[in-house]
Structure 1
Amino acid sequence: MTIGKWHAPRHAQGLSLIELMIAIAIGMVIVGALLALFLNVTRANNEMAKMNRQIENGRFAIQLLQDDLVHAGFWGDFVPRFEDRNVSAPDDMPNAIPDPCKAPGTWVAADRNNLIGIPVQADVGACATVTNQQADTDVLVVRHAEPSAGTACGGEVCFQASQCNAEINATPPQSFVLASSGHVLHKKNCSPAVLPVSSGDIAVTRKFISSIYYIRDYSVAVGDGIPTLMRSEFAGGEHQAAQPLIEGIEGFRIEYGIDNLGKNGAAVSYVGAVNRGDGIPDTFVNSAGLNCISAANCAAANVVAVRIHVLARSSEITPGYTDTKVYTLGSAGSMGPFNDGFKRHVFTTTVRLVNPSGRRETP
């Protein structure tokens, strides 16, 4: 009998050291590629988020300013005499840029005429609410009466316009009240023989709105380097401390559309040859050109449009990026290059001042 050879079982063979090193190397390459992809996607998402915030902040700033400006010069049914074509010798022409922070208790008739007749301005003098203003930026003041009408002022400075001929044609005229008390003017149906009449004939009272916009060079703490759009509102008889609105607004320049020619091409005149313009801006000037030297020479009283330029800056630096651009903000000038790692974008819009321009329109 033949005995067959016995074969020992074959042992399973593992990876050699060289094979293991090759596998590890390939794995590291794959992990490295995945890590690079993850970092690139994360970086792109971060840049997209920063860009979205920048665009949102710029558009929000433009929209906020536009919403306020469309109400500039709204005084209910009141028309200043210097804008009334039926008045050949008005006595209420603005003669100086008003101080928006002057105490109402010290206002005289000229101050009230200036506040009413110049609903937007660039000069705030030494107003204490404008602090740490960003260099090379403008200030914008917007004034109007609150659109909603009421009958009580509640201790605030309020505006009331008379519709009663006996008051309007009085000497001196009692066509409006701008104060914290004394709002007793009347509607059209008042009778001169029985003035004052019942409270049901009292003209509506509207809260006086005044807002100061500017750019502060920090957001939360002095020196944090985050430029921020600020607003100071008028309440309790004075402009309150400015409050931060939108971070990252680095540039703020304003151009003012001046209506200095009538439909016939003649210069605007408030005395004699009545020419109240046509409501269309004939030229745009920057803040330096928005002056009011006298009642006969007051460009600020002829503003019918405002062009806003806002330069929005990203919230964080972009690694590897250097901003070498020059940003043009209309005739108000340019900004840059900044030579830093922040990305920027200019937002611009032109707002028609519906109330002043509408009163000047001609058929």
Structure 2
Amino acid sequence: MRRPHRLCRRHGFSLVELMIAIALGAVLMLAVTELATRNSAVRNELQRSAAQIENGVFAIQQLEQDIANAGFWGETGQPPAVTYDGAQYSACSTTPPLFVGTATAPAALGEELRQATCYPVLGGQAPPTPAGLAVKDGTDYLAIRRGSSCSLDDAGCDPAVPGDVYLQANACFEPNVSGAPAPGDLQFSTVVAELEFMTRACDTVTPVELAPRYRLLSRIYFINDDDQLARAELSGTGPGAYDTVEALVDGVEALRLEYGLDNGATTGSFAGDGQVDEYVRTPLGAGWSDVVAVRVFLVVRSRESSPGHVDNRSYTVAGESYTVPAAYSDYKRQVFSRTVVLRNVAERRE
């Protein structure tokens, strides 16, 4: 008896089915790859934007902190006179120097230190470029003068550096002592041991309770040719005192400033009332002593270019047009701005 043959069934995929599966897989892979690529591009762009914002905020904060403390001379108001090397200097020049502390003769150095107290801020635009500073054309520079925020006797404050300039304000009132310094008198010295003003206690018992002594800070902020916010700082005295320049922030294309002048009514012995009457790009001569606020504008670009991006926008910074450099048109940029009040200057006039 013959058994019927069973039909043989084929197992697996046919060629057509296999090709369809491969095609579907390829489509899915392309979709996943495209999604991953886009996510990567978005992530990179977010990282560039975050770094740009971080740079802009840090740059603004650096300037804000120094500007807000400009004109701090210890426990004193605007000093009527400054003592250096045993001589007094009281006049405020109408042509204040940018680089205070570079003179070699004691009399000239004392005069420069006096001008620092008369003009806590002083700036300008390049060109022309101040000798000794590589300032990028079309940008501003700003000198800020003040005492350090911590005294030599404070815990954690840097120790005295030989050759640096230090200041001290007198707080002791001795009306019965002939020739005694008045409260608020200010003296400078490169020798800390020569700063012997006393506190309000006027305690002459050894050890004498000395008034706080602060390092003189004279810093000049500017944009260099590498598009960096840079700072030259007084170190020592004499020629070359500003030779050390520190680059603070990359990608800062422009710094521009407007100065708020208090040139209105007079209050007491001070000109003005501590309020801004007008903003100008550059005060003239003695007008720098009337600056009570500064508007800071920074143009900050990202560290890397953004593929496919072309920055064809027009910018107005501090009332003037700003042209995007052609070599960096594929970089994204932002304008950061802040208005900073010179508290020590304005409050003396209020």
1:324 is the counterpart of 2:317 = no
Asked whether the equivalents of residues 258 and 304 of structure 1 are also in contact (C-alpha less than 8 Å), the reply is yes
TM-score between the two structures when normalised by the length of structure 2 = 0.81
> What does the per-residue CA deviation read over 1:241-262, in whole Å, with 9 as the maximum and x for residues that have no partner?
2112111111211111111111
Q: 1:13 to 1:190 in 2, by over 3 A?
A: closer
Query: Shift of the alpha carbon at 1:81?
Result: 4.8
Q: 1:108 to 1:174 in 2, by over 3 A?
A: farther
Task: For 1:75, give the aligned amino acid.
Answer: W
SS in 2 for 1:113: helix
Residue correspondence of structure 1 range 168-247 to structure 2 within 5 A: 168=181, 175-181=185-191, 182-188=194-200, 200-218=208-226, 227-237=227-237, 238-247=241-250
Task: For 1:177, give the aligned amino acid.
Answer: Q
Q: 1:147 to 1:94 in 2, by over 3 A?
A: farther
Asked whether the equivalents of residues 230 and 243 of structure 1 are also in contact (C-alpha less than 8 Å), the reply is yes
Task: For 1:244, give the aligned amino acid.
Answer: A
Asked whether the equivalents of residues 327 and 334 of structure 1 are also in contact (C-alpha less than 8 Å), the reply is yes
Q: Where does structure 1 lack aligned partners over 5 or more consecutive residues? A: 84-89, 219-226, 265-272, 293-297
1:115 is the counterpart of 2:116 = yes
SS in 1 for 2:104: helix
Q: 1:75 to 1:174 in 2, by over 3 A?
A: closer
C-alpha separation in 1, matches of 2:270 and 2:236 = 38
Query: Shift of the alpha carbon at 1:301?
Result: 0.7
Structure 2 residue aligned with 1:301: 289
Structure 2 residue aligned with 1:334: 321
Residue correspondence of structure 1 range 147-186 to structure 2 within 5 A: 147-150=149-152, 153-155=160-162, 156-164=164-172, 166-168=179-181, 175-181=185-191, 182-186=194-198
SS in 2 for 1:25: helix
1:258 is the counterpart of 2:261 = yes
C-alpha separation in 1, matches of 2:68 and 2:207 = 32
Query: Shift of the alpha carbon at 1:188?
Result: 4.9
Query: Shift of the alpha carbon at 1:126?
Result: 3.5
1:313 is the counterpart of 2:301 = yes
Query: Shift of the alpha carbon at 1:187?
Result: 4.3
Query: Shift of the alpha carbon at 1:8?
Result: 4.2
Structure 2 residue aligned with 1:65: 63
Asked whether the equivalents of residues 90 and 114 of structure 2 are also in contact (C-alpha less than 8 Å), the reply is no
Q: 1:230 to 1:118 in 2, by over 3 A?
A: same
Q: 1:198 to 1:104 in 2, by over 3 A?
A: farther
C-alpha separation in 1, matches of 2:265 and 2:73 = 23
Query: Shift of the alpha carbon at 1:28?
Result: 1.1
Identity %, equivalent residues: 30
Asked whether the equivalents of residues 101 and 127 of structure 1 are also in contact (C-alpha less than 8 Å), the reply is no
Query: Shift of the alpha carbon at 1:97?
Result: 2.1
Tell which deviates more after alignment, 108-117 or 31-40: 108-117
Asked whether the equivalents of residues 94 and 113 of structure 1 are also in contact (C-alpha less than 8 Å), the reply is no
Structure 1 residue aligned with 2:274: 279
> What does the per-residue CA deviation read over 1:276-301, in whole Å, with 9 as the maximum and x for residues that have no partner?
21011111111xx2331xxxxx1111
Task: For 1:236, give the aligned amino acid.
Answer: G
Query: Shift of the alpha carbon at 1:65?
Result: 1.2
Query: Shift of the alpha carbon at 1:347?
Result: 0.9
Q: Where does structure 2 lack aligned partners over 5 or more consecutive residues? A: 82-88, 154-158, 174-178
Task: For 1:31, give the aligned amino acid.
Answer: M
C-alpha separation in 2, matches of 1:99 and 1:63 = 23
Asked whether the equivalents of residues 190 and 197 of structure 1 are also in contact (C-alpha less than 8 Å), the reply is no
Structure 1 residue aligned with 2:94: 95
Asked whether the equivalents of residues 104 and 179 of structure 1 are also in contact (C-alpha less than 8 Å), the reply is no
> What does the per-residue CA deviation read over 1:289-329, in whole Å, with 9 as the maximum and x for residues that have no partner?
2331xxxxx11111101111111101111111100112222
C-alpha separation in 1, matches of 2:209 and 2:19 = 97
SS in 2 for 1:105: coil
Corresponding residue to 2:345 among 353, 356, 362? 356
Structure 1 residue aligned with 2:41: 43
Q: 1:178 to 1:291 in 2, by over 3 A?
A: farther
Query: Shift of the alpha carbon at 1:82?
Result: 6.0
TM-score between the two structures when normalised by the length of structure 1 = 0.79
Task: For 1:315, give the aligned amino acid.
Answer: R
Asked whether the equivalents of residues 263 and 290 of structure 2 are also in contact (C-alpha less than 8 Å), the reply is yes
C-alpha separation in 2, matches of 1:12 and 1:235 = 91
SS in 2 for 1:235: coil
> What does the per-residue CA deviation read over 1:311-362, in whole Å, with 9 as the maximum and x for residues that have no partner?
110111111110011222223x23124451111111111011000101000x
